[in-house]
Chain A
Amino acid sequence: MTAPRSARAVARRWPALAAAAALALSACSGEDAGVGTHAIKVGHTLAASQELTRAVDAGGMRSLDPSISTDVPAAHVLDDLFEGLTRLDERGEPEPGMALSWQTSADGRTWTFHLREARWSNGVPVRAADFVYAWRRTVSPVTASEYAQTLAPVLNAIAISEGRLPATELGISAPDEHTVRVALNAPTPYLLSLLTKSYAYPQYEPAVRAHGEDWVRPEYIVSNGAFVLREQVMGGRVTLAKNPRYWDAAHVRLQRVVYLPLDRAVQTSRFFAGELMFTDSFSAEQTAWLRARLGAQVVSAPYLGNFVLGLNAQRPPFANNRNLRMALTLGVDRETLVRYVRQGLYQPAWTPTPPLPGYHAPLPDWTQLSVPARHALAQRYYAAAGYTRQHPLRIELHYPTDSDNRRTYEAVAAMWRANLGAQVETYNEEFRVQLNERHLKKLALFHYAWIGDYPDPYTFLQLFQTGFGYNDGGYSNPRYDTLLNAAGNEADAARRLQLLAQAESILNDDVACIPLYYYATRHLIKSYVRGWASNIQDRNLSQYMYVLEHQGQ
């Protein structure tokens, strides 16, 4: 009897402490703790201090060298430091950047870009040769770039990275100081989007020559973007300052941007403490709790990624067993999964490619059926595959350790148990261990999520091409490969997307994988931070953002 009374006494005497404890508990359980919303009064004039603190995922930022960097945190910083031939606009669409205009040849294989008058941060003009130098450096085997193959659409890129041709043979040239000509292997409709990426930025040759890979350190770096690098602590903060020499500096309002690499939970607490204005992610489990407290400051939108279960097409039980694959894909209730396990943040997936502008991904016919009808059909396929409740399918589902993954896959396993009677054991491993086993094609049923490199179906569909390095399920269908190759050589953009859609419907017919849902971005953004828009690549350039006058945190 004394315990409740003393707890109340504590709450009376130390309301803040009690609230804090409740907050800590509710953070675990996702319940409402009764703490008031963070009320902020936001004005309509610019704040005196134009400084933005942004979080990025911890454990990245391996390099800020545009030729070498591959991780997402560094990509955010590089978006602010450099600019390619095109840049992303506020909505995340490519628009003229260093190039003022461009023309395409009739076959779509040669692009000519005309540069604007722009300067490096040291005052030297940006020349066409700076692009030629940078691209050659990226594909050169000496650089040992993990991203050499992302320039694969450019003529000879792969041959050069394999050391079979000299870097001078790369399909990029500078006919004069203000013209960049790019020769491609095949028409590449997503080229303008690729050009906004770090590996397509220009690089200042004298800096690289003088300092080697150290040229991106704050003391040596020369960049051409809206900001310059001021400070970089390994595993810690990265500070940028406005670049007064940037060609569009007149429209850049932020004077300082601070990037902090932090874990998800830490990001949320820093946001509440008023030390972060723009977080990178929050835990999906906390969605409802955060929405109740932060309202419109919780921002979520579709993201270019799918959450898919891979099936090994070369080993039992899935090899030559479409019935079983159908039974499993029909036996998952994606709507339930999305609503109850993933807090309604994500969109259910029926096909590998997430929704993209201009592309109509084909849906399997059975998506028209009601849920009970799907279950009945799943049971028929399951029986046809030779399984019964007495002799159920017994299989292990492998996924990389993560609390969100665990919840999802345990729910999926439970659905298969309830709907089919299948005995699925979920088995988690550390990320790299799972990756290794997947690549060796040791796993039959595995986590196979993928984030697209550019907003085009091809980045998702190539995963199922015969012999593709990351086709971890070993799926192979000559008709599929033919369609994908035909799409690769198609100059007409609409026709190309049609071919890709045809290819994708083959994947669906074959049940090459089990799509579960599409990812969504998850940010907490202070209501006084403006000048951003959710976009499918989740790239928000600081150069468009600004801080409004506000009271409170």
Chain B
Amino acid sequence: MRYFLRRLLTAVPTLLVIATLAFMLLHATPGGPFDSDRLLEPHIQHSIEARYHLDEPVWRQFLRYLHDLAHGNLGPSFQYRNTSVNELIAQGLPVDLTIGSAAMFIALLTGGTAGLLAATRPGSWRDRAAMSVAMLGISVPVFVIAPLLILLFAMRLHWLPAGDWVSGSWRHLLLPSLALALPYSAYIARIVRAAAIDALNQPYVRTARAKGLPTHTILWRHASRATLLPLVSFVGPALAGVLTGSIVIEQVFGLPGIGRLFVTGALNRDYTVVTGVTVLYGALIIGLNLLVDMCYAWLDPRTRIRA
């Protein structure tokens, strides 16, 4: 318990470093949030910048930002007038969370099944087929898969919408989460297969077999924990990636998630949005890594003793 408290405390300086780096890098890039190719009289530029405290020295802006951050306030967005970064994230995050969890569910279900099917008969046609599909899933990038899914299911067959976000509609959820899930599903299939084969060759499994237990009982009762270990260490960070939204998926399907917010924010020099989303990503990754370690401790008593 004390270990996890310590881990939580070290997360604070880590986040501070992330916020500082993001803030400094953004302010160092040429071009400001209110530069445009349109005429802007100097005094107007000044009154806009004063509104967002951009006329102050950078160190003071930074202190102001840290002060707000400590109070959970990520500041006002520069690109969306009169909208706070908190509001933007509150609006975008549910989209990513829904698609991300759907994608992770699909990936675990399909990847796990394929991996186990392959592991029970290594070298069979089943194994080869599953692993070839997995190889394809890993090597074909999302920006190819996603448009192909759209071409097939939306443009040719007209079965599913080509994008857009309608909260609560499974039809709008299916294609983006499928596209997002495929590469993860492929990784999971390979990890599960390797771990399961390894576990099935352990002496205790041989003993179980010798006792005459059926294969599914062996898989479920004896090999599953050992199989889960490498899977958990993959799924933890992967979950952070999936939940914070794939920028490509959001772009291709035109979804109002935070990944897109992040990209347009960077292009528009929306300092607060970019630092805010970066800090959020950082916090998610730290949090999920912690969760992974906790799962480890639960799954494998040996790590508990060491900790």
Contact = CB atoms under 8 A, between A and B. Distances in A.
Interface string B33-50: 011111111111001101
Give the 7 A-B CB pairs with smallest separation, nearest first.
A432-B31, A236-B256, A20-B151, A63-B81, A273-B162, A213-B82, A273-B154
A235 B157 contact: no
Contact of B81 (A62, A161, A269, A430): A62
Interface string A309-320: 000000000000
B162 A145 contact: no
A156 to B, nearest CB: 14
Contacts of A234: 80, 83, 87-88, 91-92, 256, 261
A436 B30 contact: yes
Interface string A15-29: 011011101100100
A7 interface: no
A149 to B, nearest CB: 5
Interface in B7-61: 29-32, 34-44, 47-48, 50-51
A273 B37 contact: no
A72 to B, nearest CB: 11
Which of A19, A141, A214, A234 has the most chain B CB within a 10 Å cutoff?
A234
Interface string B240-271: 00000000000111111000110010011100
A430 B267 contact: yes
Given A59-B264, A275-B164, A439-B35, 11 more contacts: A61-B80, A63-B80, A68-B81, A213-B82, A214-B82, A233-B91, A235-B261, A236-B256, A260-B254, A269-B163, A553-B158
Given A146-B38, A212-B82, A24 B264 contact: no
B296 interface: no
A58 B268 CA distance: 12
Interface string A460-487: 0000000011100000000000000000
Given A59-B268, A269-B154, A275 B161 contact: yes
A235 B85 CA distance: 13
Given A59-B268, A146-B38, A432-B31, A269 B43 contact: no
Contacts of A58: 254, 260, 264
A233 B254 CA distance: 12
B154 A149 contact: no
Contacts of B161: 273, 275
Interface string B55-71: 00000000000000000
A51 interface: no
A163 B152 contact: no
B1 interface: no
Interface string B171-207: 0000000000000000000000000000000000000
Interface string B127-159: 000000000000000001001101110111110
A275 B44 contact: no
Which of B37, B43, B150 has the most chain A CB within a 10 Å cutoff?
B37
A436 B158 contact: no
Contacts, number: 162
Interface in A24-69: 24, 27, 58-59, 61-63, 65, 68
A432 B150 contact: no
Contacts of B281: none
Interface in A55-102: 58-59, 61-63, 65, 68, 70
Contacts of B40: 146, 149, 469
Given A59-B264, A146-B36, A213-B82, A260 B43 contact: no
Nearest to B156: A16
A519 to B, nearest CB: 14
B267 A162 contact: no
A125 B199 CA distance: 78
B105 interface: no
B79 interface: yes
Interface string A191-215: 0000000000000000000001110
A273 B143 CA distance: 18
Contacts of B234: none
A266 B147 CA distance: 9
Which of A27, A161, A266, A553 has the most chain B CB within a 10 Å cutoff?
A266
B210 to A, nearest CB: 45
